[in-house]
Each structure stands twice: as structure tokens, then as C-alpha cells.
Chain A
Amino acid sequence: MSDSGRTSETILRVEDLVVKFGLRGQVLTALRGVSLDLREGESLAIVGESGAGKSVFTKCFLGMLDANGWVDSGSIMFEGQDLAKFTTEKEWLRIRGKKIAMVFQDPMTSLNPLRTVGSQISEVLGLHEGLRGDDAKSRTYEILDQVGINDPEMRYRQYPHEFSGGMRQRVVIAIAVACNPKILICDEPTTALDVTIQAQILDLVKRLQEQLGLTIIYITHDLGVVANVADTVAVMYAGDVVEYGSAEEVFYDPRHPYTWALLSSLPQLGIKGQPLYSIRGTPPSLFADIKGDAFAPRNPNALAIDLMERPPYYKVTPTHYARTWLLDPRATPIEPPEAIKAMRAKYKRDAQ
């Protein structure tokens, strides 16, 4: 995608990434040629259904694909190196926790239940910054403070089961940012938490981003979270990024039929007295080769060519792209659903 319209540096560039898995003797293509640019300091949200490939995508940045998966082709350029070409654990050890860190979904099971919380944070300091003993301890107290945990001295000595879910997630975040990584990946960081705690955690991450200059990737299927935190949004479907743009552009001016469907199914957009919208059909099987646009079979407004050839990215604005033939000038104009039109109208009004 073109660089124009951006101000900061690209720190991660993914090109045509193809990832496959061997499953019960067959090959499943989880990522079908994904390309993405990540700008320094931005918050990118990757949204999509379960199975769209969001987690697989980010696991590639840490080399943590399951044992039966592999990168088939494509590149992931980071700090002058191609992460997709890494083969040994040693190469990854220089990246994990140090340059790129990850916060996992379920705080209840992410921590080692038989070791103190403090020791698990200090461990990371020892690995990458060589801090031991009291040095590590005092730095850990600082970090615990930074993530909003009171009384760090006492908390250091406690075990995970003595913390609530929200606090455990803070600890996991603490571990992730302890060594000031460049990129922080949050895989559904609030899905397993209460609604009230969700907001706190998101605030914490935003605050840390400002303090430490982090670039953040959020993986989520919760559009509410996206609206809250994201600068840019990438919409994934069936192993491909189908739409990409700033949060405002994607929310208020979506162009891909899948994005329309996704946004339409938000309960908040439902009209009282009418049935809630849901997308017909199911995502395609990734075992077979997919011909044309993956979403076409479920799209009542699909064009003939959608069923034949995969669309390239069309430019809506210098910062907004969508992979759909609808944007071709020759395409029959298709109207987005009512709800989307309403949102677009509202956006235009607000802009004036």
C-alpha cells in the first residue's frame, strides 16, 4: 500500500503473507496473502470473526504459531530483518518480550499459579536487561506502580490466585511492557473481563502507550473496543484483510460488503421493532482454494466478477483501502444498507 498520507515511520511491514496448517492430513490456508503496514505510535485494531486469522497473523510476529503451522511465503519486515524467514529459536529470543510483546486473552490462566507475581515480572527483566536481585525488585515495584497496582511491595510476594481478574491482566500487561518493547500486541485483552474492568484496562494501555511510546495492535471482535482505542482498523475475513483505514473512515464510510454486514449486525444499529440483522451463511472452508472474493457467496449484492477473481485493493482515500470490485468505476453502483447510510450521513453532518 502507498506511503502517502502518513506522517510517521513504518516500523512493521507485512507483504503477501501466506500461512498454512497441516490438519488431519490436509492443508488449511489460514492467511491467504495478507499485506499491512504498521506506523510507529499508532493503535491498530484488527477485527473479524473467529477463524478469520487475526490471532494467527499476530502469532507470526513472535514465531508462536502452533506446531503444525508454517509460513508458506511472504515477508514480515521489522528493523531490517525478515521475521518470516526466522528458523531458530535463538533468533526469536531477541524479539520476544524485548522488541515485540504480547498480552493474552485469559488472565486467569496466563500466569504460573505456583510462583509469585513479582518473580514472574522480574524474570523478564533478568532475561533482557540483565537485572537481578534487588535491582530487579525495585524496578518491578516501579512497574507495578505504573500499571496501577497499589502496595507493590506486598503484591510482589503474592500469588496469582490472590489477585482478581482485572489485576491479573494488569500484571500480564506489566510483564509485557517491562522491557519497553516497540510493539505491543493485545489479543482480545478484555474479552474475559467484566465490563467495568474492561474500560480500566483499555485506559491503562492507552496511558502506557503515551508514556512509553508504544505501537499497539489490538485483536478484537468487539467493535466497541475498537471505537474506543483504535487509530486504524483492519477488517479481516477468511484469512485476508478486506478493508483498511482510519477508524473514522472504516466506521463511517465502509466500502466492503463484509464491513457493511459487520457493522450492521451491531445491536446498537438495530431499529426498534425490526429483527436484528445477522449475516447469512458461514465463512468458507479454508481447506479448499477460494475462488474470487471470499465473502461473495454470502453477499446478496455480489457482482459476477466477485465469484471469479479476487479483487485487488481499491483506494477510497490515500489512507483508506478496500478489497472489493464494487469500487471499480465500471461496477454497478450498489447501495449500502440503511444503517450504514444513516451513519455516513451523520458523519458528514458532524464534519461540517
Chain B
Amino acid sequence: MGSSRQDKFQQLSDGFLALSEEEAERVSSYSDELFRPAEFDTEAAEKAGYSNYSYWGSTLRLFLSNKVSVFLLVFLAALLVFTFVQPYLPNQLHPNTIYQDPETGIHYRNVKPNAKFWFGTNNIGQDLWSRIWSGTRTSLFIGLCVALVTNVVGITLGSIWGYARKWDKLFTEIYNLFDNIPYTVLRMLITFIMRPSLFTMIFVMCLTGWIRMAKYIRNQILIYRDREYNLASRCLGTPALRIVVKNIMPQLVSVIMLQTALCIPDAIGSEVFLTYIGLGLPVSIPSLGNLINEGRLVMLVPAQRYQLFFPVIVVSIITVSFYALGNAFADASDPRNHRR
């Protein structure tokens, strides 16, 4: 018994290579039972695959892991809500009313911030606090309108442009044409021709904005359109619209959201610019551009500098937050960043 076991051990250990003596001994002590064939489970064979990757899951995870972005999102949401709720809060004054002391009849001009006028008043007696929020509403409204129109028009035309080969050339030529006209000048020109108004401003920004979106969408579609899975769909007879909507659109959502987020600071910037030149909104509609301009006129007087300060701070906060948020989302939705 002893010697045959010894022989067996010798036989086994000649065959083993990478094991130490104890391990070789341990292995040779395994019962013969273990060396019989096992039940073959076909299910288990197929199951051992990869894939736990979800695009939106990873995007969300990345986005939420960045504390700054989450803060910005919450902050901006709160800001937006506040902007629109503000007039309904108690103790709010009216943006266009000129306030005067009920006893003396003197207008409350250039009053520094105090308990009644939280941001002070401007040089004709209007309450800055309410004016600023009214202006913010206007600017946001412009921005959102522009974003909406640019997105809808840009996506639709961009999709057609990218998907229908025969229209590509025509559209590309039109794009090149547009591209050649410096769009600042174009905006100025059109506003000049159409006379400044709220509608003009929105129109002008949409005009120069849709093209960029359309080109981007077109580029993306060109990339995805000829991916093999889409070619397969086409072979199977799937209608073009369905392919575009189900296969390609989801890829573009992140881009669309980015552009929308950037639209707001862009719109505000353009509005400030046009107002500065004199092609902005009429003074009766408070807007951030107007307010900054009015503030600029009195900035040399230190006591009245707050009139410039407050609009500028609000503008800065809004533009920077939107921009940063847009960037953060773009980073999170970029598949290249999903590796980490």
C-alpha cells in the first residue's frame, strides 16, 4: 500500500511542473472521482459573456460623480424657478413703475440698496431688484426660444442634409455661403434692416444659429449612417425615418443638450452686444443687456456703481453656470470618458 502510493506520487510529480512539493502532494491526494467527466451545462457555456455597459448609465454615473456639476444643476434649477416665481412673492415691486416718496413726491432716484429697494433704484426711480429679474426672464426667454427653434430647424434640416445624399451638395454650398459672412455683421445688418425689437432679436439669432447645429448633425449622421448595423437595417427595408429616430438620434442627444445649454450664454452675450451698439431691445422692456448699458452710463460715479454691479453679477452667474453645466454634461456623455 505504502509503496504503491509512493509510486503513484512519483508518477504524478514527474508530470507536474509549477508546483511545490506540498502542492504536488496535495494534488496527488485528490480522489479519483474528481477526474471523471462532469455534466456539461450548455446554458453556462453561453452565459459566460461580458457586457454591463449602458451608455446612459455610464453618463449618469460620470455626471453625478462630479460634485460641481450636480451643484450647478441644482443651483440653476433653483435659479430658474425663482426667476419665474419672483413676481408672485410677497413684497415685490414692479419693474417699470417709477417710485416716489408719497409725502414729498420726490422720485426715489439712485437710491442705494436698502430694506425697501433690495438692489437700489436707477436714475429715474425704478426698482432694480425687480428690473433685474424681469430682465433675466426676458433674456432667458430669448435664449430658450432661440434654443428651441435652432434645435428643431437645425436637427430637421441637418438630418435631411446628412441622410439624403443628393441634397448634400446643395446644402454644403449654402452652408459655405453663410459661413463666409461674418455673423456678427450679419446680425447687425438684419437688426438694422428689420428695426430692433424682441422678435427681430430672436429671429436674428435663430438665423445664424441653426446652420451650426445643422452642420453638426449632418456630420454625425454621416458618421453613423454607414455604420454596419444601419446598413443592415436598410437592407432589411427599415424606413429611413425609423433608422434616424431609433439608431442615430440617441447618439445625438448629448450633443443637442450641450448646444442647448450653450445657447443661453450665447444669446445673452449677443443681446448685450446688440444693445451696446444700439440695436437692442427698446428701453421699455427690461433686459440684462439694457440694464448693463444703463449701468455703464453711470459707472464713473462710485456711489452709483451698484447699478452696473448687480446686472453684471447676475449675467456672470447665469452665463458661467450654464456654460459649465453644458461642458460637464458633454464630458459625461462622451463615450471616451466612460472607460474610467
Contacts and interface: CB of A to CB of B under 8 A. Distances in A.
Given A24-B58, A312-B17, 6 more contacts: A297-B44, A305-B34, A312-B23, A332-B36, A332-B37, A334-B37
Contact of B340 (A22, A282, A301, A302): A22
A35 B338 CA distance: 32
A162 B53 CA distance: 41
A299 B12 CA distance: 24
A315 interface: yes
Interface in A286-302: 287, 296-302
A35 B34 CA distance: 26
A280 interface: yes
B19 interface: yes
A162 to B, nearest CB: 28
7 contacts: A302-B37, A302-B40, A304-B36, A312-B27, A315-B17, A328-B15, A330-B35
A80 interface: no
A258 interface: no
A312 B48 contact: no
A23 B35 contact: no
Interface in B318-340: 338-340
Contact of A23 (B15, B30, B47, B339): B339
B178 to A, nearest CB: 31
A147 interface: no
B42 A327 contact: no
Contact of B38 (A281, A298, A303): A303
B173 interface: no
Contacts, number: 102
Interface of A: 1-2, 22-25, 35, 68, 280-285, 287, 296-308, 312-315, 321, 325, 327-332, 334
Nearest to A66: B339
Interface residues of B, number: 36
B42 A305 contact: no
B41 interface: yes
A304 B38 contact: yes
Contacts of A24: 52-53, 58, 61, 338-340
A1 B17 CA distance: 6
Query: What DSSP secondary structure best describes chain A's contact surface?
Result: loop
Nearest to A280: B45
Contact of B46 (A35, A282, A313): A282
A334 B40 CA distance: 14
B32 interface: yes
B32 A68 contact: no
Contact of A308 (B15, B16, B34, B44): B34
Contact of A307 (B8, B38, B339): B38
Contacts of A297: 41, 44-45, 47-48
Contacts of B37: 301-304, 332, 334
A174 B24 CA distance: 48
A304 B45 contact: no
Contacts of A332: 35-37
A162 B312 CA distance: 57
Given A280-B45, A281-B45, A303-B34, A329 B18 contact: no
B88 interface: no
B34 A314 contact: no
The 7 residue pairs across chains A and B that have the minimum distance between CB atoms: A281-B45, A305-B34, A331-B35, A282-B49, A284-B48, A304-B38, A313-B17
B161 to A, nearest CB: 29
B231 to A, nearest CB: 22
Nearest to A281: B45
Nearest to A15: B18
Given A24-B53, A328-B12, A330-B32, A1 B18 contact: yes
Given A281-B48, A297-B41, A303 B16 contact: no
B66 interface: no
A313 B16 CA distance: 6
Given A23-B339, A24-B340, A285-B50, A302 B38 contact: yes
Contact of B16 (A280, A306, A314): A314
Contacts of A321: 17
Contacts of B184: none
B48 A282 contact: yes
A334 B44 CA distance: 21
A293 to B, nearest CB: 11
A312 B34 contact: no
